[in-house]
Amino acid sequence: MLQVVIDGPGQVKVVEVTDPVLPGADGALVAVESTAICGSDLHFYDGDIPVGDGFPVGHEFIGTVVEVGPDVRRFRPGDRVLTASVAGCGHCDGCATGDPVTCVEGPKVFGSGMLGGGQATMVAVPSADFQLLAIPEGIDAEAALLLTDNLNTGWIGAKRADFAPGGTVVVLGLGAVGLCAVRSALVLGAGRVLAVDPVVGRRELAAESGAIPVEGATVEAVLESTHGRGADAVIDAVALDATLNDAFSCVRAGGTVSVIGVHNLDPYPLPVLMSLFRSITLRMTTAPVHQTWKDLVPLVANGRLRTDGIFTHRYPLADAAKAYAAVAARSADCIKVMMQP
């Protein structure tokens, strides 16, 4: 089969590898129909998180079940499915909550060195009954791919931001996850969403989703917009030191900073004293993808939560190097890429 691998910063290639086998009696093999590049994949591509040669990547994919183990009850060959980016054992108390991050055996992420990469022609999926979701009627390929990670992350980032209906929310970073957070915050009742990104075109995309673009210095603009009080909540979909600093500086006293971006391996100097004095709540979340499906699938299927306009480009899997370069440019015209075998 074919697999996308990263050999180091900026080095992507597609290689032939041995086909995967069933990962146990409760596992399944999925032939990939479409896969996507996530912003967190860029940490490997950019070298923020060093990896060795031939590192298989990708945790967002949809496809068709081609084989199941004898203990799988909910799926059969031929079923069209999506899978959560983070996996758990599917049997413990943690997984019973729908959040594999709390799995007692420890969570595993596809394409991270723990499970096979989803940017491939076939993927072995453990705990298939827990891990897979049959793609419902009314959910197209773009929406299905977003339901493997990005939409769930934006949704939970907004939900855990704890703003009251009508509140003012700031979203820092308007890539795929940030745009999903903008739309989610509005669906959850935000009165205003202030959208921040250095790329003008991305701010314009957020405006099309109902946000108010923020121009100039972030903290000053937010304070001016809120008459000096600060936003009720800030969702940081980037998690650079600079955006975290902005988040703590423009959230109001008693507000919440919800971090869903992926920081690098360097320590961040958390402003503990001032955050304590201002009673700031800090939440950092890897999305409980399985848990969010019950909310998100109906919202997407009935059109209440839009998923259009997030995917801007499609490439054959064989052109993965070009696809990564396009996403890494972080331009206005390339937000998210779908790759197809």
Number of domains into which the chain is organized: 2
Residue with tokens 């820092």: 172
Asked if residue 81 and residue 7 are part of one domain, the reply reads yes
Give DSSP secondary structure letters for 198-254: S-HHHHHHHHHTT-EE--S-HHHHHHHHTTTS-EEEEEESS--HHHHHHHHHHEEEE
Structural domain containing residue 264: 154-284
55-56 and 2-8: which strand pairing?
A: antiparallel
Residue 139: CA count within 13 A, CB half-sphere: 21
215-258 residue pLDDT tens: 999 999 999 999 999 999 999 999 999 999 999 999 999 999 99
Residue 243: name the closest of 268, 266, 223 by CA: 268
Helix (H) or strand (E) holding 289: helix 289-301
Asked if residue 85 and residue 28 are part of one domain, the reply reads yes
Q: Which residues contact 228 (CB under 8 A, 6 or more apart)?
A: none
Task: Say how far apart CA 287 and CA 193 lie, in whole Å.
Answer: 21
Q: What pLDDT is stored for residue 244 in this prediction?
A: 98
Asked if residue 69 and residue 169 are part of one domain, the reply reads no
Asked if residue 127 and residue 90 are part of one domain, the reply reads yes
Tokens standing for residue 318:
């064989």
Task: Say how far apart CA 263 and CA 339 lie, in whole Å.
Answer: 25
Amino acid (1-letter code) at residue 137: E
Task: Say how far apart CA 234 and CA 236 lie, in whole Å.
Answer: 6
Asked if residue 107 and residue 28 are part of one domain, the reply reads yes
Q: What pLDDT is stored for residue 234 in this prediction?
A: 98
Amino acid (1-letter code) at residue 240: L
Asked if residue 234 and residue 172 are part of one domain, the reply reads yes
Q: What pLDDT is stored for residue 115 in this prediction?
A: 96
CATH number assigned to the domain comprising residue 269: 3.40.50.720
CATH number assigned to the domain comprising residue 16: 3.90.180.10
Average pLDDT in the chain = 97
Asked if residue 103 and residue 14 are part of one domain, the reply reads yes
Largest CA distance in the chain: 62
Query: What is the pTM for the complete model shown?
Result: 0.96
Q: What pLDDT is stored for residue 27 in this prediction?
A: 98
In residues, how long is the chain?
Answer: 341
Asked if residue 315 and residue 231 are part of one domain, the reply reads no
Q: What pLDDT is stored for residue 303 in this prediction?
A: 95
Asked if residue 305 and residue 256 are part of one domain, the reply reads no
Task: Say how far apart CA 174 and CA 172 lie, in whole Å.
Answer: 7
**CA distance readout (Å), 176 to 124, 165, 281:** 26, 24, 25
Asked if residue 258 and residue 270 are part of one domain, the reply reads yes
Q: What does residue 269 show for φ and ψ, rounded to 5 degrees?
A: -80, 85
Asked if residue 202 and residue 169 are part of one domain, the reply reads yes
Task: Say how far apart CA 17 and CA 269 lie, in whole Å.
Answer: 42
Q: What pLDDT is stored for residue 137 in this prediction?
A: 87
Asked if residue 196 and residue 318 are part of one domain, the reply reads no
Low-confidence ranges of the chain (pLDDT < 70): none
Sign of CA dihedral 233, 238, 244, 245: negative
